[in-house]
């Protein structure tokens, strides 16, 4: 068993590339749908790296939230004016592209290197939402059952979604490292 695991490292690294591709292509593709575009608004609107993509400033979006599956015309009109849907489609195209590049990285080392680094970079941006987006932590709801279980470190559903990008960040580095190793090995072979 140990020998098999040791000898299968390259296949496992390629499975990381496939896993990255599945997640990126699926999530990126969903950005074309209204519910997913609405869902990323708190992250984008509060991000100093991304908020300029929207025409409205945070926290105005809070008045125009659509719950998943909801289609309130007034809210949709606000999001259209905000640029929510145009931005989400553009972001989705980028994410899908990175996903396909990770698949190509199985066969093309330079593309794999770039894809791994882009995956790492995208994950860093996503993880920055843990600092910039208030909705990633459980809010203080007050009331009769006021609890101390709010704020940092108590992650909301959005926060739990974001924190998982630590895995994507590490996977991107593994894929980039493998591609870099293969590029260097090829250079050594060409010299000999």
User: What's the pTM?
Assistant: 0.91
Residues 112-154: tens digit of each pLDDT: 999 999 999 999 999 999 999 999 998 887 765 666 788 889 9
**Cα separation, 125 vs 17, whole angstroms:** 20
In contact, 119 and 172? CB cutoff 8 Å: yes
List phi, psi (to 5°) of 77: -60, -40
83: left (phi over 0), alpha (psi -120 to 50) or beta: left
**Cα separation, 192 vs 188, whole angstroms:** 7
Select from 24, 187, 166 the least CA-distant residue to 104: 24
14 Cβ contact list (under 8 Å, min separation 6): 106
Residues 36-62: tens digit of each pLDDT: 999 999 999 999 999 999 999 999 999
Q: Does 153 sit behind a cis peptide bond, omega within 30 degrees of 0 on the bond before it? A: yes
Per-residue pLDDT, averaged over 17-46, amounts to 97
Select from 101, 108, 107 the least CA-distant residue to 172: 101
- The distance in angstroms from the start CA to the end CA of the chain is 35
Residues 72-89: tens digit of each pLDDT: 999 999 999 999 999 999
Any alpha helices (H) in 105-164, and if so which ranges? 109-132, 157-163
Q: Does 59 sit behind a cis peptide bond, omega within 30 degrees of 0 on the bond before it? A: yes
In contact, 20 and 119? CB cutoff 8 Å: yes
Residues 97-111: tens digit of each pLDDT: 999 999 999 999 999
Per-residue pLDDT, averaged over 164-186, amounts to 97
H/E stretch holding 71? none
Q: Assign 85 to helix, strand or coil.
A: helix
- Please report which confidence band the pLDDT of residue 69 belongs to, taking 50, 70 and 90 as the band edges: confident
Give the mean pLDDT of the chain: 94
């Amino acid at each position: 068993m140990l020998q098999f695991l040791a000898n299968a490292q390259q296949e496992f690294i390629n499975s990381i590339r496939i896993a990255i591709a599945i997640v990126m292509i699926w999530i990126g593709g969903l950005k074309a749908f209204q519910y997913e575009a609405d869902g990323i608004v708190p992250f984008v609107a509060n991000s100093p790296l991304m908020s300029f993509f929207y025409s409205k400033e945070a926290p105005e979006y809070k008045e125009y939230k659509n719950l998943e599956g909801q289609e309130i015309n007034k809210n949709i009109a606000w999001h259209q004016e905000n640029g929510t849907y145009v931005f989400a489609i553009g972001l989705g195209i980028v994410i899908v592209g990175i996903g396909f590049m990770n698949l190509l990285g199985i066969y093309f080392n330079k593309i794999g290197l770039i894809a791994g680094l882009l995956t790492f970079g995208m994950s860093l941006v996503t993880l920055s939402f843990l600092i910039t987006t208030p909705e990633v932590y459980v809010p203080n709801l007050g009331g009769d059952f006021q609890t101390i279980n709010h704020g940092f470190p108590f992650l909301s559903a959005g926060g739990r979604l974001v924190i998982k990008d630590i895995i994507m960040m590490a996977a991107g580095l593994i894929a980039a490292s493998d591609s870099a190793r293969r590029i260097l090995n090829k250079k050594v072979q060409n010299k000999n």
